[in-house]
Amino acid sequence: MFPPIKLWQRLVRAKREYGRTDFFLLCLQRAIGWLPGVRIERHHLVAQPVAAPKASHRGRHIVIRQLDRSADALRLITRIPEELDDRFDQGAICLAAFNGDELLGWIWLAFNRFRDFEEPFLFVLPENGEIAWDLDVFVKPEHRLGPVFPRLWAAATEELERRGARWTASTISGFNPASLAAHRRLGAHTLGVILVIRLGRLTGLASRQLGIPLTWAWQKVYRHRIEVNEPA
């Protein structure tokens, strides 16, 4: 057990790191997490400019490959096969970083629209292609301080620029302040915040910034259409 003063200091630091609302909801989620089928999540919808990365000589041994459905490396990606199939069905692409035959990390890109596999979102991107979608950026823990992520992001930037994208959007959990901070360092703008509440099969979501009133649905598979526009 922490002494009361130590516990209070930890709570203050956590509140500062997460922000007041995300911290409150995280505490609420942990308090009710023992209830089956009950979950609260807060997603930040962000968009960041597609900008050429700074040139670097690090990581020349790292090779970036685009994976297709038949790639053996897909078995090493920590997602269920149905979710990976759903991404390919939507036209998403996977860029993966390798050192020889070792898979070091990956990033997925989607275009035109993106249907989230787990959350009740269908994100519709502008028809002009100036906004793309990035998701599931992952680097093995032992390589996170090295050149793997810069190499992956550089390859993703090249692909996005080739397709004419000026922005790339994504959602980040409010319970992941480190990822939010990393995106902000890359110039990300917050387009809105979406609250999701699950009570068994009943799903509710709301977003004041995106003009979504509290909406509830009983459907087993429910996706709310959300149009993504450039930051103001």
Q: What is the CATH number of the domain that holds 165?
A: 3.40.630.30
**Has residue 63 got a pLDDT over 90?**
yes
Say what the pTM is.
Answer: 0.87
Cα 5 to chain center, whole Å?
A: 35
**Has residue 206 got a pLDDT over 90?**
yes
Q: What does pLDDT average to over the chain?
A: 88
User: Which pLDDT does position 86 carry in this prediction?
Assistant: 95
Do 125 and 114 form a contact (C-beta atoms < 8 A)?
yes
User: Which pLDDT does position 83 carry in this prediction?
Assistant: 94
**Range(s) of the domain holding residue 29:** 18-227
**Has residue 47 got a pLDDT over 70?**
yes
Structural domains counted in the chain? 1
User: Which pLDDT does position 128 carry in this prediction?
Assistant: 92
Name, in order, each residue with C-beta under 8 angstroms of 52's C-beta and a sequence gap of 6 or more. 157, 161
Who wins on pLDDT, 116 or 27?
116
Strands (E), 32-177: 38-49, 63-67, 93-99, 102-110, 113-115, 121-124, 131-139, 167-173
**Has residue 144 got a pLDDT over 60?**
yes
The rounded distance, in Å, linking the Cα atoms of 106 and 94 is 7
